[in-house]
């Protein structure tokens, strides 16, 4: 009886709703009514969800491909920048021990001329990048990333003491962090020993860095980290006059002591430009300094060398417990920028 009543009820409902193309399905939970329009909407929604899922997967794949292309371009930029930098330093002859020691005793000025020229050219390049619509954001990001390492951690005491130790080390080993890699490539005597000392020093500093920061931490954070921030002007307004002053200093030094008189071995009179043993230090400096703006645009970073030694020293920390001994070195172990520096310099 109950089954016949249910069949009769469903038959009547089916007759009334046939004009609306109603479909019926009976399940254990009861009777579910689904008309063709609702079913169509479900099919469309299901298709949209599938498209969205596929679109998300395609976006992830696209992002990975874009990241891979950027990484490849960054690696190419590092290699080209390293080749250019090494060529400039080799032609400038500032990697020679006599040039380094002579500069520290103010008897030779090749190193000072080249470095001042590089700084002046770099400031001009940075000024151009900071004025470009597509370069200003990268320039600002680079500065924020750079000052984040030091602001509030190191003050005048740390800078002065660090500069003193660095100068003493340069005088003793006749090298500096930037030219040591070129000394290795040119077979300069004792360059390998100098590298061992540099890596040992980087590791030692990594171990005592928390203590150094605690003892030398400034009591107050400066409101302005750069001259242009202090003056409230765009970067190029402060940078270009300083670059002009540095160029004037190089010109005055050249008048005082021509670069040819500082060479350990004179150039050949019949050699071509590329075959010359030495180039004018200001020309080599301009070539090296021109890389700064290019690297900011391509890598969002500048040429440096010190952090590459920290990255290599961090390889000693092979376990998690060892990494916890030096958060400073552990940070460089996973820093793409530090390893990019190493690629550039090698």
Residue 324 lies in a domain: yes
Q: What is the mean pLDDT of the chain?
A: 80
Q: Look at residue 36 in the predicted model and tell me its pLDDT.
A: 56
Residue 230 lies in a domain: yes
Biggest alpha carbon–alpha carbon distance for the chain: 121
Contact of 207 with 325, CB cutoff 8 Å: yes
Q: Look at residue 232 in the predicted model and tell me its pLDDT.
A: 92
Helix residue ranges, H only, 93-219: 97-104, 110-131, 136-148, 156-173, 177-186, 191-216
Q: Look at residue 327 in the predicted model and tell me its pLDDT.
A: 86
- 40-51 mean pLDDT: 61
Q: Is the pLDDT of residue 23 over 50?
A: no
* DSSP code at position 278: -
| Tokens at 85, concatenated | 């930098």
Of 164-168, 212-216, 247-251, 333-337, minimum mean pLDDT range: 333-337
- 205-228 mean pLDDT: 83
Per-residue pLDDT band for 108 (boundaries 50, 70, 90) equals very high
Q: Look at residue 21 in the predicted model and tell me its pLDDT.
A: 43
DSSP SS3 for 273: coil
Residue 249 lies in a domain: yes
Which helix (H) or strand (E) is 221 found in, with range? none
Residue 30 lies in a domain: no
In the chain, DSSP finds a helix count (H) and a strand count (E) of: 16, 2
Q: How many CA atoms lie within 13 A of 27 on its CB side?
A: 5
User: pLDDT tens-digit profile of 55-64?
Assistant: 555 445 445 5
Residue 214 lies in a domain: yes
Instruction: Find the helix packing angle between 97-104 and 156-173, rounded to 10°.
Output: 130
Q: Look at residue 199 in the predicted model and tell me its pLDDT.
A: 92
Residue 48 lies in a domain: no
Q: Look at residue 240 in the predicted model and tell me its pLDDT.
A: 97
Q: Look at residue 45 in the predicted model and tell me its pLDDT.
A: 63
Per-residue pLDDT band for 215 (boundaries 50, 70, 90) equals confident
Q: What percent of the chain has pLDDT over 70?
A: 75
Which residues, other chains included, contact 199 with Cβ-Cβ below 8 Å and sequence gap of 6+?
Answer: 309, 312, 313
Residue 64 lies in a domain: no
Q: Look at residue 345 in the predicted model and tell me its pLDDT.
A: 61
DSSP SS3 for 27: strand
DSSP SS3 for 199: helix
User: pLDDT tens-digit profile of 5-21?
Assistant: 434 444 454 444 444 44
| Residue 82, domain extent | 73-264+277-345
- Looking at the DSSP bridge assignments, the partners of residue 25 are 32
| Tokens at 134, concatenated | 């597509």
**How many whole angstroms separate alpha carbon 306 and alpha carbon 62?**
36
Residue 160 lies in a domain: yes
Number of structural domains in the chain: 1
User: pLDDT tens-digit profile of 141-177?
Assistant: 888 887 777 766 777 788 888 889 999 999 999 999 8
Q: What percent of the chain has pLDDT over 90?
A: 39
Question: How far is residue 65 from each of residues 60, 300, 336, measured CA to CA in Å?
Answer: 9, 20, 18
| Tokens at 169, concatenated | 């080390």
DSSP SS3 for 268: coil
């Amino acid at each position: 009886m109950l089954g016949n009543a249910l069949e009769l009820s469903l038959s009547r409902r089916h007759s009334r709703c046939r004009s609306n193309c109603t479909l019926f399905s009976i399940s254990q939970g009861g009777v579910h009514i689904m008309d063709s329009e609702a079913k169509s909407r479900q099919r469309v929604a299901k298709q949209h969800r599938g498209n969205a899922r596929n679109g998300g997967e395609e976006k992830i794949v696209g992002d990975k491909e874009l990241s891979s292309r950027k990484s490849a371009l960054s690696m190419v930029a590092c290699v080209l920048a390293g080749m250019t930098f090494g060529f400039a330093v080799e032609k400038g002859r500032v990697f020679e021990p006599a040039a380094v020691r002579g500069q520290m005793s103010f008897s030779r000025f090749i190193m000072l001329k080249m470095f001042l020229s590089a700084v002046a050219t770099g400031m001009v390049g940075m000024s151009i990048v900071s004025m470009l619509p597509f370069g200003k954001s990268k320039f600002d990001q680079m500065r924020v990333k750079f000052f984040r390492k030091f602001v509030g951690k190191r003050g005048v005491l740390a800078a002065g003491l660090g500069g003193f130790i660095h100068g003493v080390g340069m005088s003793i080993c006749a090298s500096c962090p930037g030219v040591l890699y070129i000394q290795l490539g040119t077979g300069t005597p004792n360059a390998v020993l100098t590298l061992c000392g540099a890596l040992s020093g980087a590791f030692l500093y990594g171990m005592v860095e928390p203590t150094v920061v605690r003892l030398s931490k400034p009591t107050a954070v400066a409101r302005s980290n750069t001259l242009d921030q202090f003056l409230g002007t765009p970067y190029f307004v402060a940078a270009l006059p300083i670059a002009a002053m540095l160029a004037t200093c190089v010109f005055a030094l050249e008048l005082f002591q021509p670069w040819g008189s500082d060479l350990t071995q004179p150039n050949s009179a019949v050699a071509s430009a590329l075959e010359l043993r030495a180039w004018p230090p200001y020309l080599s400096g301009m070539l090296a300094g021109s890389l700064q703006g290019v690297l900011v645009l391509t890598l969002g970073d500048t040429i440096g060398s010190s952090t590459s030694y920290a990255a290599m020293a961090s390889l000693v920390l092979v376990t998690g417990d060892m990494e916890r001994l030096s958060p400073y070195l552990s940070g460089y172990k996973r820093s793409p920028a530090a390893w990019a520096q190493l690629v550039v310099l090698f």
